[in-house]
């Protein structure tokens, strides 16, 4: 039942909406739609947005085998290759103008990771060897230019000189390293390793798992720390519920793909604890709160947090069938999404944020550089694929 509803939502809402955002004149996909559904065709195009859209259509094609989806992925791939990638200094820009000129030339490790994620999936869908080679080049850039003896440095100018990490810092702090960037490098390397078998990706996936277990995960609080200084000391009391439930299933997936029993023994207790703690402290009113900073809970319901919670709790139930409350939570959150988060106005998709009681925030747009089909489209595809595995 859940999978049937997800397939219907994927094919009748999410895919049609993002297909309409294809820019036929300048390439890629339009970068901004305000809350009232007004599309700004000359808005900046975020490279993260376009990478995630390429990832989405590639995986939608792999699932549904509709050739139109592969054509949409190819359209996005060409824009990435021709406009988002810096052919002189290497790496991928933060953003480009509506017509594909460099706009923000910041190079961020997080952004390189999502390009690897997209290119790896596009290679899987298309068989285009060039995409896999580009992904490998970006991985080498991360490893050669974005690392120190402790972990991943994050923010750089166009020539890879380190700058302030303001793009991935929030909550009143500037972090030199973040859980979020490490998580998505891990996610990207998982996908690249899955399609390539690359030994460097495998070695760095193992390193990332060790780092999550030993420096990111806080066993006393059963949560991940979020923002760190250069030496990986936590610099703020913050529990990000969405990232923890997302980490739980992404780490489980990475461990499955690595296939190493030692990492299964090391990481599964952590992902189980993350899932259980989020269920205990954040699941309320058939939905998930956003985060807790210094003991104060942000009760807003953020679109991506709800989507990741559905997958995370479903994953928790799949691995522990006795935890039927996780399956119930996944179903309840999906019902909350359908009722309050999906935007049923013509020509729109999901609201960015709603209150605990489901009232949408009119200040938040429908499309922007971070708002894309990566989370909600992936939710649908994960549940469809996982239901086939049962």
For residues 278 and 241, the answer to whether their CB atoms sit within 8 Å is yes
Per residue in 114-161, pLDDT (tens digit) is 999 999 999 999 999 999 999 999 999 999 999 999 999 999 999 999
Nearest to 284 by CA among 362, 336, 213: 336
Instruction: Report d(CA 226, CA 212) in Å as an integer.
Output: 11
Q: What single-letter DSSP state applies at residue 43? A: S
Asked if pLDDT for residue 390 goes beyond 70, the answer is no
Q: What is the pLDDT of residue 389?
A: 63
Sign of CA dihedral 271, 249, 302, 75: positive
**What does 160-191 look like in DSSP terms, one character per residue?**
--B----TT--TT---SEEHHHHHHHHHHHHH
Higher pLDDT pick, 72 / 388: 72
Q: What is the pLDDT of residue 1?
A: 86
Q: Are strands 177-178 and 155-156 parallel, antiparallel or unpaired?
A: unpaired
Q: What is the pLDDT of residue 280?
A: 98
Q: What is the mean pLDDT of residues 233-255?
A: 98
Asked if pLDDT for residue 55 goes beyond 80, the answer is yes
Instruction: Report d(CA 183, CA 121) in Å as an integer.
Output: 18
Residue 283 has φ and ψ, to the nearest 5°, of -80, 115
Neighbouring C-beta atoms of residue 136, cutoff 10 Å? 18
Domains of the chain: 2-389 (1.50.10.10)
Q: Which of 29-33, 166-170, 274-278 bottoms out in mean pLDDT, i.e. has the lowest?
A: 166-170
Angle (CA) 298 302 303, round 5°: 170
User: What is the chain's mean pLDDT, rounded?
Assistant: 97
Confidence of residue 388 (pLDDT cuts 50, 70, 90): confident
Angle (CA) 224 180 375, round 5°: 105
Q: Is this structure's pTM higher than 0.95?
A: yes
Per residue in 224-233, pLDDT (tens digit) is 999 999 999 9
Q: What is the pLDDT of residue 319?
A: 97
For residues 93 and 151, the answer to whether their CB atoms sit within 8 Å is no
Asked if pLDDT for residue 248 goes beyond 70, the answer is yes
Instruction: Report d(CA 246, CA 307) in Å as an integer.
Output: 9
Tokens encoding 2: 């859940």
Confidence of residue 179 (pLDDT cuts 50, 70, 90): very high
Asked if pLDDT for residue 253 goes beyond 60, the answer is yes
Per residue in 67-126, pLDDT (tens digit) is 999 999 999 999 999 999 999 999 999 999 999 999 999 999 999 999 999 999 999 999
Per residue in 299-344, pLDDT (tens digit) is 999 999 999 999 999 999 999 999 999 999 999 999 999 999 999 9
Q: What is the pLDDT of residue 217?
A: 98
**To the nearest whole percent, how much of the chain has pLDDT over 70?**
99
């Amino acid at each position: 039942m859940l999978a049937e509803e997800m397939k219907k939502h994927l094919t009748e809402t999410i895919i049609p909406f993002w297909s309409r955002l294809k820019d036929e004149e300048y390439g890629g996909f339009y970068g901004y739609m305000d809350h009232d559904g007004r599309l700004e065709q000359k808005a900046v195009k975020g490279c993260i947005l376009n990478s995630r859209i390429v990832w989405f259509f590639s995986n939608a094609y792999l699932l549904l085998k509709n050739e139109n989806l592969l054509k949409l992925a190819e359209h996005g791939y060409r824009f990435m290759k021709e406009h988002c990638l810096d052919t002189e200094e290497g790496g991928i820009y933060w953003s480009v103008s509506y017509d594909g000129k460099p706009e923000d030339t910041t190079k961020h490790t997080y952004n390189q990771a999502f390009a690897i994620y997209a290119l790896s999936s596009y290679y899987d869908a298309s068989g285009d060897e060039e995409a896999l080679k580009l992904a490998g080049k970006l991985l080498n850039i991360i490893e050669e230019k974005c690392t120190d003896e402790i972990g991943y440095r994050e923010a750089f100018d166009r020539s890879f000189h380190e700058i302030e990490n303001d793009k991935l810092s929030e909550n009143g702090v500037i972090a030199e390293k973040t859980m979020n960037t490490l998580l998505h490098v891990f996610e990207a390397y998982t996908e690249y390793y899955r399609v390539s078998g690359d030994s460097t990706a495998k070695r760095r996936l193992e390193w990332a798992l060790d780092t999550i277990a030993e420096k990111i995960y806080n066993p006393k609080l059963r949560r991940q720390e979020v923002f760190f200084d250069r030496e990986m000391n936590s610099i703020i009391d913050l529990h990000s519920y969405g990232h923890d439930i997302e980490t739980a299933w992404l780490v489980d997936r990475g461990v499955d793909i690595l296939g190493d029993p030692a990492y299964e023994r090391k990481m599964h207790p952590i992902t189980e604890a993350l899932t259980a703690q989020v269920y205990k402290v954040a699941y309320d009113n058939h939905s998930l709160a956003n985060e807790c900073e210094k003991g104060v809970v942000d009760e807003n319901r953020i679109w991506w947090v709800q989507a990741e919670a559905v997958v995370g709790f479903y994953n928790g139930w799949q691995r522990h069938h006795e935890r039927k409350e996780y399956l119930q939570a996944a179903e309840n959150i999906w019902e909350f999404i359908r009722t309050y988060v999906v935007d049923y106005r013509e020509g729109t998709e999901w609201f960015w944020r709603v209150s605990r009681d489901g009232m949408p925030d009119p200040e938040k747009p429908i499309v922007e550089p971070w708002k894309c089909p990566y989370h909600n489209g992936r939710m649908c595809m994960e549940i469809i694929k996982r239901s086939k595995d049962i």
